[in-house]
Amino acid sequence: MQLYNKYDKKTLLKKIEQEPFKRITISFYQYADIEDPATWRDELYKNFLELGVLGRVYVAKEGINAQINCPEPNFEAFKAFLYSYSFLEGIRLNIAVEQNNKSFVKLAIKVRDKIVADGINDPDFKIDQKGKYLSAEEFNKMTDDPDTVVIDMRNHYEYEVGHFENAIEVPSDAFRDQLPMAVDMMKDKKDKNIVMYCTGGIRCEKASAFMLYNGFPNVYHVEGGIIHYTNTTKEQGIPNKFIGKNFVFDERLGERITEDIIAKCHQCGEPCDDHTNCINQACHLLFIQCKTCTEKFEGCCSEECMEFIHLPFEEQKELRKGTDFGSNIFKKGRWPKNEGEKKFKIKK
């Protein structure tokens, strides 16, 4: 059996559009000791493929991190397969707040050094010595306490479109950098309740363990992250303290949690929280773009990219070999410091 995808995106999308069933978008993770990630990766791929599961999965010696969609008719069989592994039995499956059959169009399972790159090399650090879980109700109650500090352990472009009330951003787009930054930012607040959160729980769980490791006594993290929190508030009819949109790492690029739009279009500054990727495949920059600017710039992030996509294909292909991406004005989603700066230059 072939253990990798061999079809292009267009073919895969057409296949999904012809499917007579709905797909359920799910995310899950588990820290565990995996002796042979490569062999397990192939085992997962074979079984996921048979079940029609699509998505992005990372496996490593420290566990599994998965964002997938599953055919609705196969959901129970998928759960049964996961739960057949003792360390995955009863694992929490985060059902997406907003569903979309095209959240993922292919299956990719990769072996990584870690399921969350953290830059931690100290053998004394233990992921199982983590902060206490907070349910949605417990989170709401604790965050009413003025002695509580809420820390967002996601990237800037995630925080920009939505976050919990009064949450502190750790200003970096790399988790490995955020960990020591969070410790430094909180060094004078060791007597506070430190509550950490992320999208589905995997980053804030590791971050909570890192804070405990660095001597913070009162560390908590939101069980199941923003996704599980939001679903729980809906089910229980309790207030939701998240504002805006939850960024997700699939074709949807976001789930609407509240109607508040707290971000701005990176090109005109109008209220907008719709992420997109620059249509210029030589760029593909992730940024926020309103509908007006989408039309004006033809889905591109700059005039340079718009000019580039109108060149003959062979010329584009040749020019891409000499493209300098060192001056991206949005810095992966950040508001440009110099709006006149060119996004990239073509070396001729």
Burial of 162 (0-12, 13-18, 19+ CB in 10 A): buried
Q: What is the largest CA-CA distance in the chain?
A: 62
Distance CA 185, CA 179 (A): 10
d(CA 298, CA 157): 22
Q: Which amino acid is at 2?
A: Q
The answer to whether residues 94 and 225 touch, using CB atoms and an 8 Å cutoff, is: yes
In 186-274, alpha helices (H): 202-213, 225-236
Active site residue 272: no
**CA nearest 206: which of 253, 241, 154, 160?**
154
Name the DSSP letter for residue 271: B
Token pair listed for 130: 């983590």
Our CA angle for 192, 197, 199, nearest 5°, is 175
Rounded distance between C-alpha atoms, residue 127 and residue 198, angstroms: 16
Beta pairing class for 63-71 and 23-31: antiparallel
CA distance 306 to 192: 50
Catalytic residue among 70, 198, 278, 283: 198
Dihedral of the alpha carbons of 325, 329, 330, 336, in degrees to the nearest 10: 170
In three-state secondary structure terms, 40 is helix
Q: Which residues are catalytic?
A: 198
